Structure 1
Amino acid sequence: MNYRLIALDVDGTLLNDDHELTEQTIETIQEVHDQGAHIVLCTGRAPDSTLPILQQLGLEGTMITHNGAATVHADERGKTLVNEFSFTLPEIAPMLDYVRTEGIHFDVCTSFNMYIERIGEYEKEMYTKFLVSPKLVTDVSELGLPIVKFTLFSNPEMLDRVQQEWDEQQLYGHLRMIRSGDLFIDVMSAKANKGNALKALAATLEIDPSEIMAIGNYYNDLEMMAFAGLGIAVENSPDGVKEAADAVTASNNDEGVHKALVKYCL
């Protein structure tokens, strides 16, 4: 099959556990790109922390960021917002009260910026790892900006409890809550997911879903893997993700993206 669009999750999929790209993976992606395929990074990251990965691959083009809430085009002229699914800060007021009371770290994101109310060394280390520089404000509620993502960062046990309680209380209302990693919960517009963003991009490029390959590692990748003609999970994915995939490749620490591209594209 000649895949015309390759959608790649970043953390836990494209990057190894040291948040690095291997030279072999870079070379293989460039080869697939040179054969005419669009390479699209589909990530929970913001545009500013996704762009360095795209540049390291020697590419420019469209990035699906914030787990599908913001699609951004990047080239030598800069970054341009293509599409976003946003919501307002009053819509998350009950959740803000909860995380402040419980002392859970959180941030809120517009398409291009991230805002926090406090930060410790543990959080600084996490943001540094993901190439993020959040803006410190007194009260995010006073920003008055459209928001694309509200993220909690804590230990898995705490987030398990949050997930259960917010589900029981439907605290997120008409918004969508997803577990985007062991240490993260994201709240976004109900329309925002990587699958919907990929569908919109494919329509713009006039690419059929059967001509798309998507590779991911977590539950926030399921919609894009389902939309693609071939959805692949890396070996380090949870069992539920691997069961939903069409195929499984090697882990992110064993160049799973490289091996999948060689097998299905080269």
Structure 2
Amino acid sequence: MCVIKLVATDMDGTLLNDKKELPKDFCSFAASHKDIKMVIASGRQYFNLIKTFPNNVEDFIFIADNGAVVFEKGKPLFIDSIDMDVVEELLKEIHKIEGVACVLCGAKSAYISTVDDIALKNIQMYYAKVKFEMKSIDQIEDDNILKIAVFLNKEAETKLYPAIAHLNNPDGRLSAVLSGDSWVDIMNRETNKGTALKKIMDIYGIKPEESMAFGDYHNDLEMIKVCKESYAMENAHDDIKAAAKYIAPSNNDEGVMKILLERIK
């Protein structure tokens, strides 16, 4: 069995428990294993992610917005943005779906128009820098849109995704992926956690068999496939369990931490 040189983990439903808490020993583990690249891979905004690790930012590489941007030591390694004319056309289509809220996820801030209280609560959970009351994309100045996150409370898989799944046409420029029970993320076709992770592995000369990944939902699928030592959480979607090599204990049972302590000394 190869020595593990990289560990990548999703946040919500994977590393964090349902109360959105980190395993108590996770940061100390990362700090004491400097020889391992520790990657936090999430659909969350970068500025939100670093709030979870206020004293340990330099111990991690951050894949944010589902792979559209990667930060290391506070600096972007790369950014993958969507053309603004494509964003404008997408918004017209998405707003035809009843009850949705859209977040335009920029490299510098997130942007939203008026939303209801339920959507606002969920948006504030995942985005630390947000500009409200956006009436037009013309108001966005000097920023790149990395992703469009679409919210429909508890109906992402049953109602929202089916309405925009056609974006996954192989000839298209975009992809739509379920990132939670209320969220669908739309990005450039080649943008995902797996593509971003592969770039990191190439930079540091790390092989798939030297890499470990943890995930629970569809936006973790490509990342799970990139790493030979892949784990789906016990609470993961069945599709992720089918793709992963192993099953880890649930997020509420600190499954990521248990596997790390078991596999890495």
Q: Same fold (TM over 0.5)?
A: yes
Tell whether 2:15 aligns with 1:19: no
Which position in structure 2 is the counterpart of 1:138? 135
How far apart, in 2, do the equivalents of 1:105 and 1:93 lie? 15
Aligned to 2:191, what secondary structure does the other structure show? coil
Cα distance in 1 for partners of 2:91, 2:190 equals 21
Moved more, 160-169 or 237-246: 160-169
Partner residue of 1:83?
A: 78
Are the aligned partners of 1:117 and 1:140 in contact in 2 as well (CA < 8 Å)? no
Q: What is the distance in 1 between the residues matched to 2:204 and 2:17?
A: 30
Q: How much has 1:157 moved relative to structure 2?
A: 2.9
Aligned 1:241-260 pairs, distance under 5 A: 241-260=240-259
Is residue 68–residue 196 contact of structure 1 (8 Å, CA) maintained in 2? Answer: yes
Instruction: Give distance in 2, aligned partners of 1:166 and 1:69.
Output: 20
After superposition, the Cα gap between the structure-2 partners of 1:120 and 1:165, relative to the gap in structure 1 and judged at 3 Å, is closer
Residue-by-residue CA offset, 1:71-107 (whole Å, 9 max, x unaligned):
1123xxxx21111111112213343123334341111
Gaps of 5+ in 1: none
> Match of 2:91?
96
Answer with 83-92 or 229-238: which moved more: 83-92
Q: How do 1:63-78 residues align onto structure 2 when only pairs under 5 Å count?
A: 63-74=62-73
Structure 1 match to 2:155: 157
Alignment of 1:22-37 (within 5 A): 22-31=23-32, 33-34=33-34, 36-37=35-36
Q: Distance in 1 between matches of 2:91 and 2:76?
A: 27
Structure 1 position 159, deviation (Å):
5.2
SS at structure 2 position matched to 1:223: helix
Cα RMSD of the aligned pairs, angstroms, is 2.3
Distance 1:173 1:93 in 2: 16
Report the AA paired with residue 241 of structure 1.
I
- In the other structure, the counterpart of 1:215 is 214
Output the CA distance in 2 between the equivalents of 1:93 and 1:106: 12
Q: CA contact under 8 A between 2:168 and 2:175: conserved in structure 1?
A: no
The one-letter amino acid of 1:162's match is: L
The verdict on how the C-alpha distance between 1:260 and 1:57 changes in structure 2, with shifts beyond 3 A counting, is farther
Q: State the distance in 2 between where 1:165 and 1:125 align.
A: 24
**What is the total number of aligned residue pairs between the two structures?**
260
Once the two structures are aligned, what percentage of the paired residues are identical?
A: 28
Show CA shifts across 1:32-68 (max 9, x none). x24x211110111111011122335574342111101
Change (3 A) 1:149 1:131: closer
8 A contact 2:11–2:41 mirrored in 1: yes
Aligned residue identity for 2:122: M
1:4 corresponds to: 5
Amino acid at match of 1:111: A
Question: What are the within-5 Å matches in structure 2 for residues 152-231 of structure 1?
Answer: 152-157=150-155, 160-168=158-166, 173-231=172-230
The Cα of 1:264 is off from its aligned counterpart by 1.6
Letter in 2 for 1:113: S
**Deviation per residue, 1:149-173 (Å, 9 max, x gap):** 0010112336532322323577994
Distance 1:55 1:240, change over 3 A: same
TM-score under structure 2 length normalisation: 0.89
Range moving further from structure 2, 200-209 or 139-148: 139-148
Tell me if the contact between 1:29 and 1:258 (Cα under 8 Å) persists in the aligned partners: no
SS of structure 1 residue aligned to 2:17: coil
* 1:48 equivalenced with 2:47 (yes/no): yes
- How far apart, CA to CA, are the structure 1 residues paired with 2:49 and 2:167? 34
Secondary structure of the residue aligned to 1:213 is strand
CA distance in 1, matches of 2:78, 2:71: 7
- Give 1:127 deviation, angstroms: 3.0
TM superposition score normalised by structure 1:
0.89
Q: Deviations over 1:98-133 (max 9, x none)?
A: 333434111101223100011332233223333523
5+ residue gaps, structure 2, are none
